[in-house]
Structure 1
Amino acid sequence: MDERVDILDEQGKPTGESCLKSEAHRKGLLHPTIHVWLYTPDGRVLIQQRGENKATHPLLWDVSVAGHVSAGEEIITAAIREVEEEVGLTISESDLEPLGTFKAIHKISENFIDAELHHIFLCKLQVPLNQLKKQENEVADLALVPLFKFAEETWGLASMGKYVPHGPTYYKTIIKEIKNRT
């Protein structure tokens, strides 16, 4: 869906302007997104395999839930909405633990520069995997992996080509924060 997104300046502050997501991507304009990492109390992390028709990184494994923040939408509202849309889980603001932001700029092609400010949250997953309902057009698969295996595959980048390339600093932060809570 080509929704409107707010445009941010280099420091991540709203400029007061918005445009279609496709235009933001075409021009490389910084815009807000959410990343919600779901984890279990026993130290497993939910990962999603991106749909085969995604414009970026199709069929690679990624954050539990990710999505764009619509123009004028509150960050927390977008996070709650995306969790419901992508994995069919109803959560509330109190379930989300903010970790901060991470700026990511990826040049996909000459006409596609993905410039995003990820607002990152942790959320404890308190239902079994089989109770989640993936969004068919966005998510190819869902899996729960032990944190140590996830760390091995992303931190050491042993499985390049399996995961979206967020980079070691990003993955190290997520792994450390989940480990501190399990």
Structure 2
Amino acid sequence: MLFPELSTDEQKLFALNHQLISGSSKFSFRLGSQAKGFNRLYIITMSKHQGKREGKGSSEVESGTCVHDEADRLCFTFSARPQLGAMSEVSPDWVDDRQLRRLDEMLIVVDENDKVLGADTKRNCHLNENIEKGLLHRAFSVVLFNSENKVLIQQRSEAKLTFPEHFTDSCSSHPLSNSAELDEEDAVGVRRSALRRLRAELGIPPEQLSLEDIVFMTRYHYKAKSDPIWGEHEVCYLLLVRKNVTINADPGEVQSIHYLSQEELEDLLERAARGAARVTPWLRIIAEKFLYKWWAHLDDLSQFVELHKIHRV
């Protein structure tokens, strides 16, 4: 086998942090993700050069077979997907410098069944032009209840990329494309990311909240436009926490927080339907599809745990 250090997936995609050169343009590839800039099949030639693997594209081909070439090369056909994750120079002028830097975070790209395809930037994942071409990423929503069975609802800051100043769930964000947050056993990777963001956004002291306090309930898949340029398209893990915690919210993330009863949340959503308040689409999904059914059973929610289901909403 040529290049035995390559995994099977790498040999199929020849991707991670290397470049395909075709003509005068260079294109970067990531393992398992959509190949940017191509919409046809290519032959990729890999060669060893001072310990590095390099690739060059040749003419179009019509097959997907792997061909072992000369002693120092491996040629195979590369099936590149359409340009889903195209880089864009569009920058939202209302976000602050910290939120702007976060647009470069690498999120987890998945298919509709939550199978990992690769990674792409937060910026690319939230551009409607990419979403309409099918780009989908993994996310989470947390609903945090206190001992009075009231749920924490936050109002997003004016600097948020999508749905600024909207009322939403307790905390929502994304697991990052790293080994710790990609770990799928018991959804521990997503739960780790939720713990990270609960501490960062809400300022919950580390000693008050642990990974074991975060319960994975189910998943839902939704799509929503925030404005003509930015939007959401996520397979979202719905996580639940029942605990009294100290909140010291980051004003760059959170404008206000409120603990609401079921009746108060219903009133908020009713006011939003009349245009008297603004709520995120996923808050309405969470409330109407899940929370209203769960509220009377908060002491034992085992009947509502759906580890293998993805709700299409």
Normalised-by-shorter TM-score class: 0.7 to 0.9
8 Å CA contact 2:225, 2:232 repeated in 1:
yes
The reply to whether residue 121 of structure 1 matches residue 251 of structure 2 is no
Aligned match for 1:79, one of 194, 201, 210: 194
8 Å CA contact 1:151, 1:175 repeated in 2:
no
State the distance in 1 between where 2:284 and 2:240 align.
18
Supply the AA of the counterpart residue of 1:166.
W
8 Å CA contact 1:43, 1:179 repeated in 2:
no
Residue number in structure 2 paired with 1:23: 124
Residue number in structure 1 paired with 2:253: 138
Residue number in structure 1 paired with 2:173: 67
Which 10-residue stretch deviates more, 18-27 or 107-116?
107-116
Aligned match for 1:7, one of 99, 109, 120: 109
Residue number in structure 2 paired with 1:179: 296
State the distance in 1 between where 2:169 and 2:285 align.
14
State the distance in 2 between where 1:152 and 1:38 align.
19
Which structure's relative contact order is higher, taking Cα pairs within 8 Å and 6+ residues apart? 1
**Structure 2: where are the runs of 5+ without partners?**
1-101, 182-188, 300-313
Q: List, as ranges, runs of 4+ consecutive aligned residues in structure 1 with deviation greater than 6 Å.
A: none
Supply the AA of the counterpart residue of 2:124.
E
Supply the AA of the counterpart residue of 1:177.
W
Return the offset for 1:167.
Answer: 6.8
- Deviation string, structure 1 residues 65-100 (Cα, Å, up to 9, x no partner): 111111122111101111111111132121112111
Structure with higher Rg: it is 2
Which 10-residue stretch deviates more, 72-81 or 143-152?
143-152
State the distance in 1 between where 2:241 and 2:143 align.
6
8 Å CA contact 1:50, 1:61 repeated in 2:
yes
State the distance in 2 between where 1:36 and 1:124 align.
11
The reply to whether residue 38 of structure 1 matches residue 147 of structure 2 is no
- Deviation string, structure 1 residues 18-52 (Cα, Å, up to 9, x no partner): 11110112211211111111112222111100001
Q: How many residues are matched?
A: 176
8 Å CA contact 1:87, 1:132 repeated in 2:
yes
**TM-score normalised by the chain length of structure 2:** 0.53
What's the Cα RMSD here?
Answer: 1.8
State the secondary structure of the residue aligned to 2:282. coil
State the secondary structure of the residue aligned to 1:38. strand
8 Å CA contact 1:41, 1:181 repeated in 2:
no
Residue number in structure 2 paired with 1:97: 215
State the secondary structure of the residue aligned to 1:121. strand
Supply the AA of the counterpart residue of 2:282.
H
1:159-178 to structure 2, matched below 5 A, reads 159-160=272-273, 161-166=277-282, 168-172=284-288, 173-178=290-295
**Structure 1: where are the runs of 5+ without partners?**
none
Return the offset for 1:107.
Answer: 2.5
Query: % of aligned pairs identical?
Result: 22
**TM-score normalised by the chain length of structure 1:** 0.87
